[in-house]
Structure 1
Amino acid sequence: MKALVATGYGPPEQLSIAQLPVPEPGPGQVLVKIAASSLNPTDAIVVQGGFRELVELAFPYVPGNDFAGRVIEIGAGVTRFAVGDEIFGLSMPRQLDFVADDNRPSLSTGGLAEYAVVEADTPLLALRPASVPAVQAAALGVVGSTALGLMKLGEIKPGYRVLVIGATGGVGTAVIPLLAAAQAQIVATSSTPAGAQILRELGAGEVIGHAPEGYPSDVDVVFNLALYPQALPSAARALKPGGRFVSIIFPEPTPELLGRDDVSLRYYLDPDGRFGTMDDVARAAEKGELSARIAHRFTLDEAVTAAVTYVREKNVGKIVVTM
């Protein structure tokens, strides 16, 4: 089978398309013929050595955790899915098992390939609704579940003023329509006029630049989708006393990192689906309540270009690779 592979640590330009054996499902696993997969920050970070203090990769390494595809073989003991089922979800490459749930880990052989073996018994996989195209479903694993989780952690109410930092990424472009539907007042960040226009079309009432001096000072909730620790105090100053700071960026925020002890800190990390299972994502997508904005589509033969585009360009939404 064809797969996007890293043969060593390095920039996305060093990735390549290689021929690998089709993996075989073991007990509790299914073999999936991948229809589409999408890129996420973890894919870029891990092949550049960003997690080496946690894991040393064995090469060749196949990235990719979001996918949609059809089950073509099942392993012993699998009852949740059957051959022919169209499924989608979030399944991390096995070497990244340190971020997976201990009891029902959602792991795979890597989704940026023609075939992948995935663990069947996990809340982060679901049947794909017939009304949701495979390309859309492949973009929804991470961003769909994260967007639903952010809404729960933010406890959004009508009229809340919400600052979304890093709004043009996959998560931001998925959560802004949810915020708009919840009648929140949305302030979103974008570094480009084109991105700003798209955010307004998605429901943002106000779009500002990334510079912290432009942040408002009266918001009820901050969604941090982009800032690392050194920049958190400037974001925290946007909150009213008693407001909520919700972050998806490692490490988990603390009062010391924010420089404030009068706000509520919440961190989204959900390997066990506490804040949103893939069944929840499927239902919301089927109802038209949740969708992923797709910035670019590439074929598997173009997957190296897809990875370079993901890392080097300012993309508004997700990059999807079709098989």
Structure 2
Amino acid sequence: MKAIVARDYGPPSSFALADVAVPTAGPGQIQVRIAAASLNPGDIVIPGGAYPVRLTFPHVLGNDFAGTVSAVGEGVTAYSIGDEVFGHSVPRALGALAGAKNPSVTTGTLAQYAVFEAGTPFIAHRPASLDVAAAAALPTVGLTARALITRAEPKPGETVLVIGATGGVGTTVLPLLDGCRVIATGRPGDRDVLLGRGATEVIGYDDYPAGGVDLVLNLVRPTDQLREAARSLKRGGRLFTITFPPPRPEMIDREDVRFELVLDVDGDLGGMREVVGLSPLITGRYRLEEGVRALTDFAGHHTVGKLVVMV
């Protein structure tokens, strides 16, 4: 089969479209004929060697997908051949980060076929109301956006600062802040898109308000670089982040602020069935043969929303 692979640690320009063996479904697994996959930062960062993860090469890239079940392993009863499915998994090499309850791991979704664990909340049947491209774009950003809203509990009338609003998570979470005054960070050219997704105001990446913010959602900055953002919060405000390193009070010098990392590796805050009503923003579509260019564009350009590879 055809797949986008990393042959060694390196930048996206070193990735390649290659022929690799079709993975087979073992006990408790499903094989899926991939129809579409979307790109995430991990597709670049992990094979780039930034994390101490030992990959086996050639490494097939990709986490998020939509497709059709093409084979079922022994013991699988929730899925049948021909079922339309979608979801999120991490490379098998990162299995230790996939959660302890029902880990969702894959052989790589930027490929014609991939294998997944069947018994995980991060894979579900795709409803007919969700088209293939949207289903592939939704998993990681939808799960993250929903977890953020569940934990942060924004209330109508509150002022919310969204740092990194132009990305996949940001453009998915903005519509969920209905009723709030939403200040979104972005570039001048992003203004119309962000206002259309629900932002009230668009500011530069370092132009934080002087105060009056109830809630900060940090989607891009390293957690130890949020001191200035924290100063925009009212006394008793909340700051939620999806980035590392894990937050510590001294990073923001605000003992009165609730400062937390949102990382739901076990799906305790909801799985794929709970995010089907969310609306990801797709701004680029590529064919599998263009997968290397898609990853190169994603790494080198300012991307708004999600990029999808149609397989």
The equivalent residue for 1:190 is 186
DSSP 3-state at the match of 1:199: helix
DSSP 3-state at the match of 1:18: strand
The equivalent residue for 1:118 is 116
Cα pair 2:208 2:232 within 8 Å, conserved: no
The equivalent residue for 2:204 is 209
The equivalent residue for 1:82 is 80
DSSP 3-state at the match of 1:270: coil
For residues 277 and 33 of structure 1, the distance between their equivalents in structure 2, rounded to whole angstroms, comes to 21
Deviation at 1:260, TM superposition (A): 1.4
Cα pair 1:208 1:215 within 8 Å, conserved: no
Residue segments in structure 1 that go unaligned for 5+ positions in a row: none
For residues 193 and 230 of structure 2, the distance between their equivalents in structure 1, rounded to whole angstroms, comes to 26
Match of 1:64 among 57, 62, 65: 62
The equivalent residue for 1:24 is 24
Cα pair 2:223 2:241 within 8 Å, conserved: no
For residues 81 and 232 of structure 2, the distance between their equivalents in structure 1, rounded to whole angstroms, comes to 51
For residues 308 and 189 of structure 2, the distance between their equivalents in structure 1, rounded to whole angstroms, comes to 20
For residues 250 and 57 of structure 2, the distance between their equivalents in structure 1, rounded to whole angstroms, comes to 39
Q: Does 1:127 align with 2:125?
A: yes
Deviation at 1:76, TM superposition (A): 0.2
The equivalent residue for 1:252 is 246
Cα pair 1:189 1:196 within 8 Å, conserved: no
> Identity rate of aligned residues, in percent?
49
Cα pair 2:223 2:246 within 8 Å, conserved: no
The equivalent residue for 2:172 is 174
For residues 194 and 74 of structure 1, the distance between their equivalents in structure 2, rounded to whole angstroms, comes to 47
TM-score, length of structure 1 as denominator length: 0.94
For residues 271 and 71 of structure 1, the distance between their equivalents in structure 2, rounded to whole angstroms, comes to 24
Deviation at 1:47, TM superposition (A): 1.1
Report how many aligned residue pairs link the two structures: 311
Cα pair 2:29 2:117 within 8 Å, conserved: yes
The equivalent residue for 1:306 is 294
Deviation at 1:98, TM superposition (A): 2.0
Q: Supply the AA of the counterpart residue of 1:258.
A: I
For residues 56 and 19 of structure 1, the distance between their equivalents in structure 2, rounded to whole angstroms, comes to 22
Deviation at 1:131, TM superposition (A): 1.0
Q: Supply the AA of the counterpart residue of 2:262.
A: Y
Deviation at 1:215, TM superposition (A): 3.2
Structure 1 segments of 4 or more deviating over 6 A? none
Deviation at 1:266, TM superposition (A): 2.0
The equivalent residue for 1:46 is 46
TM-score, length of structure 2 as denominator length: 0.98
Q: Does 1:9 align with 2:4?
A: no
Residue segments in structure 2 that go unaligned for 5+ positions in a row: none
Match of 1:276 among 266, 270, 273: 270
The equivalent residue for 1:231 is 225
Per-residue deviation, residues 248-292 of structure 1 (Å, max 9, x unmatched): 00122111112211111121111111112111012xx2xxxx110
For residues 105 and 132 of structure 2, the distance between their equivalents in structure 1, rounded to whole angstroms, comes to 20
For residues 159 and 87 of structure 1, the distance between their equivalents in structure 2, rounded to whole angstroms, comes to 38
Q: Supply the AA of the counterpart residue of 2:17.
A: I
DSSP 3-state at the match of 2:60: coil
The equivalent residue for 1:37 is 37
For residues 141 and 222 of structure 1, the distance between their equivalents in structure 2, rounded to whole angstroms, comes to 23
